């Protein structure tokens, strides 16, 4: 049986007993970063890629004394071992730490490291086979969406709008065009070509997105990185979302339209390829 354990500043405790200081800048300002890493057969999948993205974010937002990826890796391994979890996720969060409340960064603060292990069975097979409904919403986020910041209010707001509309995900539309979901990347297929928003400040460059693109490339599928307009998106043959937890889920409805035409030929091929990649991964 998996125990819900958490790692908080050098200690492993029961999740419900994990405590932070009220003046932690993560709590007060959303000043921190997070990652969600999948665990299969009791081992991490693509941990280094996630920790590298965390590290890049920590450099960009200038978290002094941010723990090195290797340090987080060792802590996460210890947490996973003690949790005895075979399948699920490990949530990682690093904030700038507790300090008197002022907007500018404190001269000295010790980053807060928080992790927890959560058993989960994924991906959801019904969603994976039948697809999900989505809505289109405005992309109101800041201009550094490549940073996996814990500051997720716009994402939460529009995920809730989707839920209230009976949809699974909200597709964000920027002035530049379609960017991504609120917690997923969006990829579309038109005439056999995969089209997705370019890796850059407008999207979080998902680890799953990158894996799917490289698997598609290996199969000889052409990839075009560009922002689709809403009209182009509605005219695509297939549309799907990707993320660590969802892997690849087809979209079978966008707003109240009949788009996409609900073909999933390449989507299903990519689902199988990703499944194989996970099975053959060097854990």
Ligand X SMILES: Cc1ncc(COP(=O)(O)O)c(C=O)c1O
Distance CA 90, CA 134 (A): 27
Q: Least distance from C-beta 18 to ligand X, angstroms?
A: 21
Q: Which stretch binds ligand X (CB under 6 A): 11-19, 56-64, 200-208, 224-232?
A: 200-208
The token pair that represents 192 in the structure block: 């056999």
At 72 the three-state DSSP class reads helix
Does the protein bind ligand X through residue 207 (CB under 6 A)?
yes
Helix 207-218 vs helix 265-279: crossing angle, to nearest 10:
100
Q: Binding ligand X by CB under 6 A: which of 196, 202, 243, 271?
A: 243
Q: Which stretch binds ligand X (CB under 6 A): 66-74, 101-109, 131-139, 242-250?
A: 242-250
Does the protein bind ligand X through residue 184 (CB under 6 A)?
yes
Phi, psi of 194 (to 5 degrees): -85, 130
The token pair that represents 27 in the structure block: 């709590």
Total residues belonging to the chain: 283
Q: Least distance from C-beta 36 to ligand X, angstroms?
A: 6
Choice between 57 and 97, CB closer to ligand X: 57
Choice between 5 and 274, CB closer to ligand X: 274
Task: Please check whether residue 92 is in contact with residue 111, taking contact to mean a CB–CB distance below 8 angstroms.
Answer: no
Tokens 């994990």 belong to residue: 18
Does the protein bind ligand X through residue 202 (CB under 6 A)?
no
Distance CA 266, CA 281 (A): 22
Does the protein bind ligand X through residue 169 (CB under 6 A)?
no
The token pair that represents 157 in the structure block: 């707001």
The answer for residues whose C-beta is within 8 angstroms of residue 226's C-beta and 6 or more apart is: 177, 195, 197, 198
At 223 the three-state DSSP class reads strand
Applying the rule CB under 6 A, the residues between 100 and 119 that interact with ligand X are none
Q: Least distance from C-beta 266 to ligand X, angstroms?
A: 18
Does the protein bind ligand X through residue 179 (CB under 6 A)?
no
Whether 222 sits among the annotated catalytic residues: the reply is no
Q: Which stretch binds ligand X (CB under 6 A): 15-23, 74-82, 84-92, 236-244?
A: 236-244
Q: Which stretch binds ligand X (CB under 6 A): 16-24, 222-230, 237-245, 255-263?
A: 237-245
Binding mask 22-61 for ligand X (x = CB under 6 A): --------------x-------------------------
* C-alpha separations of 276 from 103, 123, 273 in Å: 47, 14, 5
Q: Least distance from C-beta 38 to ligand X, angstroms?
A: 8
Phi, psi of 67 (to 5 degrees): -60, 140
Q: Which of 143, 148, 161, 272 is catalytic?
A: 148
Name the residues that contact ligand X, by CB under 6 A. Answer: 36, 180, 183-185, 204, 206-209, 242-244
Catalytic residues: 148
């Amino acid at each position: 049986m998996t125990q819900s354990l958490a790692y908080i500043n050098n200690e492993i405790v029961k999740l419900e007993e994990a405590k932070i200081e009220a003046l932690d800048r993560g709590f007060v300002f959303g000043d921190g970063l997070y990652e969600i890493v999948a665990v299969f057969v009791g081992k991490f999948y693509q941990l280094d890629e996630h920790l590298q993205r965390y590290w890049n974010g920590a450099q960009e937002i200038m978290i002094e004394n941010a723990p090195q990826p290797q340090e987080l890796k060792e802590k996460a391994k210890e947490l996973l071992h003690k949790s005895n979890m075979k399948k699920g996720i490990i949530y990682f969060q690093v904030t700038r730490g507790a300090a008197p409340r002022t907007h500018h960064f404190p001269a000295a603060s010790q980053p807060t490291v928080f992790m927890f292990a959560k058993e989960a069975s994924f991906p959801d097979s019904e969603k994976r086979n039948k697809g999900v409904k989505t809505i289109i919403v405005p992309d109101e986020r800041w201009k550094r969406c490549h940073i996996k910041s814990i500051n997720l209010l716009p994402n939460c707001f529009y995920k809730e709008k989707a839920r209230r509309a009976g949809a699974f995900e909200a597709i964000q539309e920027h002035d530049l065009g379609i960017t991504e979901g609120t917690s997923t990347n969006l990829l579309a297929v038109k005439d056999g070509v995969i089209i997705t928003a370019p890796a850059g400040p407008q999207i979080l460059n998902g680890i799953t997105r990158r894996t799917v693109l490289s698997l598609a490339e290996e199969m000889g599928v052409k990839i075009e990185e560009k922002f689709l307009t809403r009209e182009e998106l509605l005219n695509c043959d297939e549309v799907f979302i990707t993320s660590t937890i969802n892997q690849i889920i087809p979209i079978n409805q966008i707003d109240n339209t009949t788009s996409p035409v609900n073909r999933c030929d390449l989507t299903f091929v990519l689902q199988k390829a990703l499944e194989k990649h996970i099975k053959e991964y060097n854990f």
